[in-house]
Structure 1
Amino acid sequence: MKNLVLLLFLVTSFVAKSQLGGRATYQFLNLMSSPRQAAMGGKVITNYDYDPDSAIYNPANINYKMDNQLAVNYVNYLSDINYGTASYAYMWDRRTQVFHAGVTYINYGNFDGRDENGNATGNFGGNEAALSLGYAVNVPNTNFHVGANFKLITSTLAEYSSAGIALDIGTTYNFEEWDLNAAVVVRNLGTQLTPYVDTYENLPLEIDAGISQILPNVPIRWHLTFENLQLWNIAFENESRSTTDLDGNVTEEKIGFLDNVVRHTIIGIELFPRGGFNLRLGYNFRRSEELRLINQRSFAGISAGFGIKINKMRFNYAYARYNGAAASSFFGIGIDLQ
């Protein structure tokens, strides 16, 4: 059981969710789904275009432009943790019936097992995976699209295993005349079918909203995303940021209304969004606040990347900065199978 406690701690803390961490199991479900998403801050839900990866996070983005598009991504995350995603969309008939399938897989690496006395008990590891099947429809006579992903989840942590099911529900508003997209998604509505031991745990419910637009006469799409709207107070007072005056009086860090608003916010831009070469840049305010170091510039929260299209293939790369000692590279390839 000691081994499981250690691994569960790593699972719920490596994504740096502060107060959000430890509230639910299967935290990997809310990891970034692609280099494109990672480059623009981590949670872009308004990409209503050819990219099948966008439907992993918001099923309402499933559309006919994704037909026969395959995407595969890999991330060397933190330490020995590796994860990847794959997605594919298929149009059953002209512009009306598009189905989507996605896979997310994570491997936590190997750990040295010890008992309560420090004696070696052998190595152990952990991995988790989710298979999603999605579908979306256009609300008749409107610009609204509604979609859902049904997910089957499996998890193995040391000698313990668990299985679960979940549902994502999203809606996207696509106003082509203004090149404007707006979206809301509710993710991970579900339950464990079998717990690790005896206790059934909650799934990592998340509600996100976003808006994006291509600027008139300028080849830039800006993105504004508000994450974790299901929980208003996601900030925490960091004791290391307390100050002490000459009289020994301690002033604790105070988290105000605007501090919380900012920590729900992610901004991103994509240069040449419809071209064969794209540049992307993002900033995640919560990541920056939670992982920045005192009196040291670490560039936490910044991410950047690019995409290149060559014939029927797209290559994507992103770099996300967490702090001075941790960063991740995201690699992806998209293939047009038509």
Structure 2
Amino acid sequence: MKVVIAIVCLIPLVGFSQIGGQFGYQSLNLSTNPRSAALGGSSVSLADEDISQFFENPATLDSVGTKNLFFHINPYFADVFVYSGAYSFDVGNMGTFAAGIHYVNFGEFNLIDQTGNGLGTFNAQDYTFWVGKSQVLGPFTLGANLKLAHSSIDSYGSTAMMMDLGGVFRVSKSWTVGMVFRNFGTTISNSTTLSRPSVPFDVMIGTSFKPEYMPIRFTVTSNSLVEDNFVEQEDTGGRNNSAVDKVWKRVNLGAEVLLSKNFQFLLGYNHKRKQELRLEDRGGGAGFSYGIMLKVKQVEFRFSRATYHVAGGSSFISLRTDLNDFKRIL
């Protein structure tokens, strides 16, 4: 309980988001794990011993034990690679914490001057460090992530301190509701004289439920609930931009087909992605995603595929395990 009180006291220090203007640190909006990617791109209500979900909502950590290990790789687009990893550990009387990292390598670029002469190459990368903790209060669980994000291009960079505050309410054993205030914070350093980038603050709410006699768990997540973080293009290119369509752009739909404890099939749909990335004459599957979960002994393997455009999509691969299961070997 003391940890939760300390976290709440920190909110005034990191809790003033610069809403509006040009958002920076957009790599924070990329999927951090294949499960969320397969369920439409985000999920904040899955609290079932999966440490990768603490990137989405720190309150899900109440279901995670110590020594859980997770690693994820996502070959994105144009030689961009996204990596993330997480580990849970015990801190004495303070209980279980989780630490994570999210790293985006944008690759190597040619450096040229104003006259077109080559001056060599430079790199661009983003990385964010996570530390998370949750606290159970009856049917409620509260959680917080403290995050340090850094973005660099060549010799220029900026750093921001942020926090996620989340909660999970267990309506029943098979029905949970989650909510998270993501990316409270501000830029703390900037190596250019330009205006400081704003952090991508967002509010998300979602629910996951499994009907009693169906081997399917449904997940519905509403994101971009902060109006300033949901930019509408004036030129819609013939796309539907009605009031109903704007509502659906804030909703991700997903389903997990629970074939067994060791094998699952996932499906998802992201309407915002479909409307923004489809061609005028065809969608090409934009907005749809799918994935599988396969567990072999102590190791859980996940693969997901999200379609962004008629030209293709992006794949997500992860491994997760509980090191406690290997104690006989270790």
Deviation at 1:68, TM superposition (A): 1.8
Matched with 2:130 is: 132
Matches within 5 A, 1:266-281: 266-272=252-258, 275-281=261-267
Deviation at 1:128, TM superposition (A): 1.2
Deviation at 1:148, TM superposition (A): 0.3
Answer yes or no: is the 8 Å Cα contact 2:47–2:63 preserved in 1.
Answer: no
Answer yes or no: is the 8 Å Cα contact 1:145–1:172 preserved in 2.
Answer: yes
Matched with 1:69 is: 68
Matched with 1:236 is: 233
Match of 2:96 among 95, 98, 105: 98
Answer yes or no: is the 8 Å Cα contact 1:315–1:332 preserved in 2.
Answer: yes
Deviation at 1:89, TM superposition (A): 1.6
Matches within 5 A, 1:189-228: 189-198=184-193, 199-228=195-224
Q: Secondary structure at the match of 2:170?
A: strand
Answer yes or no: is the 8 Å Cα contact 1:301–1:320 preserved in 2.
Answer: yes
Matches within 5 A, 1:257-296: 257-272=243-258, 275-296=261-282
Q: Deviations over 1:256-290 (max 9, x none)?
A: 22111010010000011861101000000000000
Q: Secondary structure at the match of 1:28?
A: helix
Q: Secondary structure at the match of 1:289?
A: helix
Deviation at 1:112, TM superposition (A): 1.5
Matches within 5 A, 1:6-21: none
Deviation at 1:22, TM superposition (A): 7.4
* Correspondence 1:117 to 2:112: no
Q: Secondary structure at the match of 2:237?
A: helix
Answer yes or no: is the 8 Å Cα contact 2:62–2:136 preserved in 1.
Answer: no
Give the aligned residue type for 1:236: Q
In structure 1, what is the Cα distance between the partners aligned to 2:20 and 2:321?
35
Answer yes or no: is the 8 Å Cα contact 1:49–1:66 preserved in 2.
Answer: no
Answer yes or no: is the 8 Å Cα contact 1:291–1:323 preserved in 2.
Answer: yes
Deviation at 1:97, TM superposition (A): 2.3
* Correspondence 1:83 to 2:82: yes
Deviation at 1:39, TM superposition (A): 0.7
In structure 1, what is the Cα distance between the partners aligned to 2:231 and 2:248?
10
Matched with 2:153 is: 157
Answer yes or no: is the 8 Å Cα contact 1:41–1:267 preserved in 2.
Answer: yes
Q: Secondary structure at the match of 2:274?
A: helix
Give the aligned residue type for 2:218: W
Answer yes or no: is the 8 Å Cα contact 2:125–2:152 preserved in 1.
Answer: yes
Name whichever of 72-81 and 253-262 sits farther off: 253-262
Answer yes or no: is the 8 Å Cα contact 1:68–1:90 preserved in 2.
Answer: yes
Q: 1:273 to 1:168 in 2, by over 3 A?
A: farther
In structure 2, what is the Cα distance between the partners aligned to 1:61 and 1:274?
22
Answer yes or no: is the 8 Å Cα contact 2:108–2:123 preserved in 1.
Answer: yes
Deviation at 1:38, TM superposition (A): 0.5
Answer yes or no: is the 8 Å Cα contact 2:21–2:198 preserved in 1.
Answer: no
Answer yes or no: is the 8 Å Cα contact 1:235–1:263 preserved in 2.
Answer: no
Deviation at 1:115, TM superposition (A): 2.2
Q: Which runs of 5+ in 2 are unaligned?
A: 1-18, 325-330
In structure 2, what is the Cα distance between the partners aligned to 1:93 and 1:41?
37
Deviation at 1:239, TM superposition (A): 5.0
Give the aligned residue type for 1:334: R
- Alpha-carbon RMSD: 2.1
Give the aligned residue type for 2:206: G
Q: 1:254 to 1:315 in 2, by over 3 A?
A: closer
Matches within 5 A, 1:293-312: 293-312=279-298
Q: Secondary structure at the match of 1:185?
A: strand
